[in-house]
C-alpha cells in the first residue's frame, strides 16, 4: 500500500519568514495530494491540494509543488503569521474514479510561528 | 451551509464495552470515510461508505464496523474495546464523483 513520509516533524520560524514542509510518497499510482491544517481540538482543515497533472499551485501565501518523477511534494508558506501555528499534514490518494479516495497521511509537522 | 458534524465530542468507555459514533456529512456529499488519529500521529483510514455499502477498508480488525443511512449519515461501531482504541475518531465526507474530503472535529474516545 501507499506510504507517505513527512519532514520535518517540528518547525519553528520567526513571523514573516517562510516555512517549507516536504513529503514523499511510494505509490506511483497516487495522483491527488491534499494538505490539511489541524488546530488544537479541531479536525483537519483542507488548505490546498494538487493533482498529478499540475506541477505547482498557489493560493495567496500558500503554494504546493509536485515532482512526480521523484515522488515528492512540498508545502510553502510565505510571510508566516502567528495564526499559521498548527500541525500540518500531507496526504496522498488515487482518483476516486479508479480505486476510491482513501487518504494516506504523513505523520504531521508542528509549525510554530514566533511573533 | 453546515459542515461535517460528529457526535458525541467526547466519550469515556471501559475495556470490553461497545461504542457507536455518529457522523452527518456536509450538505450534498454522498460518501463518508472514517479515520482513527492516535495522539501525535496522522489519521489512519478505517473504511469508506457510499450507497450504504462499505467500499474500501483499511487495516483494521472486524471489531470495527459501520453503517451508512439513506440520508448519507453514518455510524462507526467498535466492539470489545481495547486500551489501544483510545484515539480521536474523524469522519470525512466527499462527493463520490471526486473532490476533496472535508473533516469534522472528531470524537475523542478514551478507554479506561
Q: Average pLDDT for consecutive 10-residue bins of chain A (115 residues)?
A: 96 98 95 95 95 90 96 97 98 69 95 97
- Distance CA(B61)–CA(B1), nearest Å, equals 35
- Residue the block writes with cell 470495527: B64
- Distance CA(B30)–CA(B41), nearest Å, equals 27
Flag whether pLDDT at B45 surpasses 90.
Answer: yes
Confidence at residue B1, expressed as pLDDT on a 0 to 100 scale:
64
Mean pLDDT of B51-56: 92
Residues of B in contact with A7 (CB under 8 A): none
Residue B107 contacts A, CB cutoff 8 Å: no
Q: Of B22, B17, B20, B27, nearest to B106 (Cα)?
A: B22
Mean pLDDT of B48-53: 94
Contact B105, A41 (CB under 8 A): yes
Task: Write down the mean pLDDT value for chain B.
Answer: 95
Backbone angles phi, psi at A97, to 5 degrees: -80, -15
Contact A101 B94 (CB under 8 A): yes
Residues of A in contact with B97 (CB under 8 A): 96-97
Residues of B in contact with A89 (CB under 8 A): 42-43
Q: Is A9 left (phi over 0), alpha (psi -120 to 50) or beta?
A: alpha
Name the DSSP class of A55. S
Amino acid at each position: 500500500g501507499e506510504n507517505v513520509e513527512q519532514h520535518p516533524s517540528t518547525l519553528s520560524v520567526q513571523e514573516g519568514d517562510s516555512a517549507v514542509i516536504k513529503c514523499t510518497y511510494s505509490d506511483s499510482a497516487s495522483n491527488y495530494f491534499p494538505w490539511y491544517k489541524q488546530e488544537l481540538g479541531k479536525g483537519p482543515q483542507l488548505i490546498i491540494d494538487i493533482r498529478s497533472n499540475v506541477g505547482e499551485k498557489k493560493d495567496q501565501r500558500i503554494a504546493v509543488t509536485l515532482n512526480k518523477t521523484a515522488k515528492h511534494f512540498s508545502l510553502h508558506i510565505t510571510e508566516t503569521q502567528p495564526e499559521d501555528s498548527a500541525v500540518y499534514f500531507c496526504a496522498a490518494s488515487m482518483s476516486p474514479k479508479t480505486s476510491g479516495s482513501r487518504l494516506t497521511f504523513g505523520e504531521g509537522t508542528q509549525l510554530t510561528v514566533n511573533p | 451551509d453546515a459542515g461535517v458534524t460528529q457526535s458525541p465530542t467526547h466519550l469515556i468507555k471501559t475495556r470490553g464495552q461497545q461504542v457507536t459514533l455518529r457522523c452527518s456529512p456536509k450538505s450534498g456529499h454522498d460518501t463518508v470515510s472514517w479515520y482513527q488519529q492516535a495522539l501525535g500521529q496522522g489519521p489512519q483510514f478505517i473504511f469508506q461508505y457510499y450507497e450504504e455499502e462499505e467500499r474500501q477498508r483499511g487495516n483494521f480488525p472486524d471489531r470495527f464496523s459501520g453503517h451508512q443511512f439513506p440520508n448519507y449519515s453514518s455510524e462507526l461501531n467498535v466492539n470489545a474495546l481495547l486500551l489501544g482504541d483510545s484515539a480521536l475518531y474523524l469522519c470525512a465526507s466527499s462527493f463520490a464523483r471526486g473532490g476533496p474530503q472535508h473533516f469534522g472535529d472528531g470524537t475523542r474516545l478514551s478507554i479506561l
